[in-house]
Chains A and B, each alone.
Chain A
Amino acid sequence: MRRTLSYIFMAMAILCFAVPVFAQGGEAASAVNWVAISAGFSMAFASGICALAQGKATAAAAEALARNPAARPGIQLALILGLALIESLALYTLVIIFAKVVK
């Protein structure tokens, strides 16, 4: 136990050798491309939540179909309609990205 602890403290002490890095003068920050970063994040967010919602819709439709196979046309209609409407919300994000990233 004491040896492990002493090894850990030795490793942390060796890491302190990296302190001269802070001596670098503050250089001019290269322009950060915020548009690309936020485009990536927003699209990922939109796609993830869209996938969750579509999964819920599909699960509900599959369960309803299993309970009542005779109602297939109505359930299928509601499923396709719901999936397309949810998908279109993720697509709005894509359109904003194309409008801003491509300028």
Chain B
Amino acid sequence: MREQLWFTAFLNQFLAGPVTALLRALHLQPKYPQAPIPNSVAMEVLVFLFLVVLFVLVRSRLSVDQPGGLQQIFEGAQGFVEGQSQEVIGHHSEGFTPFLTALGFFILTSNLLGLIPGFESPTGASPTVPLGCAICAFVYYQVQGFRHAGIGYLKHFLGPVWWLSWLMLPIELISHTARMLSLTIRLYANMFAGDMVTLVFFSLIPLGVPIVFLGLHMGVSLLQTYIFVLLTTVYLQGAVADEH
């Protein structure tokens, strides 16, 4: 019987049957048919529901004359991401702000969820969640590259000069897929290592010292979110750059 958080057990109680049926219909055998939903997916669902509620709340309280605290926080976040993408990408970067802000909120909430006892970070529980975020970022910047330059986007993979393109093509393809790998591993390893280190020090000195590591985990969560969004912005810049 796998060990589950209370929210995972709650979800599995109601949804184990339909989820197992769905997995079997796709020819996948769940390892524990009574509890097919793993902790990381349950925590992801929780983050998603929390963020949707938060966004609906903000949307319902938007006002031009008397912005409330929540609206100012969100305006600050949006201004920060927009200023950042303006600095990195330059012109016409406002269209990218919604995706980057949503990605940033998702990763930040996922990371910080691990600080609350009874929950764990979906980004630190299993490499699949950061991989999902990395694949979303990858698909997004490729699509934006194609939208910006049409089929000419493929010239980006061929390098600066035509007589090196036979060499540059495999190098560029590998480096683009390695970006996904590095985004995933960076986020997963930071969150996982934070958990590990807190556990190790908790087993050594149960009182007082682990608080330092929880604080470190908080700082690292913020920094890693910023890095993920910043790197996605840099990849976007590489994809939509105009070569003059």
Minimal beta-carbon separation of B226 from chain A (angstroms): 7
Give the contact stretch, choosing among B6-14, B186-194, B211-219.
B186-194
Residue from B185, B227, B231, B234 within 8 A of A95 (CB atoms): B185
User: A73 vs B231: C-alpha distance in the bound complex, in angstroms?
Assistant: 16
Task: Let me know if B72 is at the binding interface, CB within 8 A.
Answer: no
- In the complex, chain A residues 12-60 whose Cβ is within 8 Å of any chain B Cβ: none
Closest to A93 in B: B189
Asked if B94 is at the interface (CB within 8 A of a chain A CB), the reply is: no
Cβ distance B236 to chain A, nearest Cβ, rounded Å: 14
Asked whether B185 lies within 8 Å of A92 as measured between CB atoms, the reply is yes
Please give me the residue from chain A that is nearest to B189 by CB atom. A91
Are B189 and A80 in contact, CB atoms less than 8 angstroms apart? no
- Give the CA-CA distance A84 to B222 in the complex, in Å: 12
Name the residue on B nearest A88 (C-beta).
B186
Contact yes or no, B186 A91, CB < 8 A: yes
Q: Is B29 an interface residue (CB 8 A)?
A: no
Report Cα–Cα, A92/B227, bound state, in Å. Answer: 16
Q: How far is the CA of A88 from the CA of B230 in the complex (A)?
A: 15
A77 touches B227 (CB 8 A): no
Q: Which chain B positions have C-beta within 8 A of A73? A: 87
Q: Using CB atoms, name the residue of chain A closest to B84.
A: A77
| Inter-chain contact A84/B223, CB cutoff 8 Å | yes
Verify if B182 is at the interface (C-beta below 8 Å from A): yes
Q: Are A84 and B227 interface neighbours, CB within 8 A?
A: yes
- The smallest C-beta distance from A89 to any residue of chain B, in angstroms, reads 9
**In the complex, A9 has a CB within 8 A of chain B:** no
* Residues from chain A with Cβ under 8 Å of B223 in the complex: 80, 84
Residues of B within 8 A of A75 (CB): none
A88 CA / B223 CA spacing, docked (Å)? 13
User: Complex: how many Å from CA A95 to CA B87?
Assistant: 33
Known: A80-B230, A81-B234. A91 touches B185 (CB 8 A): yes
Interface string of A81-103 (1 = CB under 8 A from B): 10010011001101100100000
Given that A73-B87, A91-B193 are known contacts, is A80 also in contact with B185, CB under 8 Å in the complex? Answer: no
Residues of A close to B192: CB separation below 8 A = 98
Within 8 A of A (CB), among B214-244: 223-224, 226-227, 230-231, 234
* Identity of the chain B residue whose Cβ is nearest the Cβ of A91 in the assembled complex: B189
Contact flags B165-202 to A (C-beta < 8 A → 1, else 0): 00000000000000000100110111011000000000
B 76-114 to A, binary, CB cutoff 8 A, 1 in contact else 0? 000000000001100000000000000000000000000
Interface residues of A (CB under 8 A from B): 73-74, 77, 80-81, 84, 87-88, 91-92, 94-95, 98
Complex A-B: 24 CB contacts under 8 Å:
A77-B88, A77-B230, A80-B223, A80-B226, A80-B227, A80-B230, A81-B234, A84-B186, A84-B223, A84-B224, A84-B227, A84-B230, A84-B231, A87-B186, A88-B182, A88-B186, A91-B185, A91-B189, A92-B185, A92-B189, A94-B193, A95-B185, A95-B188, A95-B189
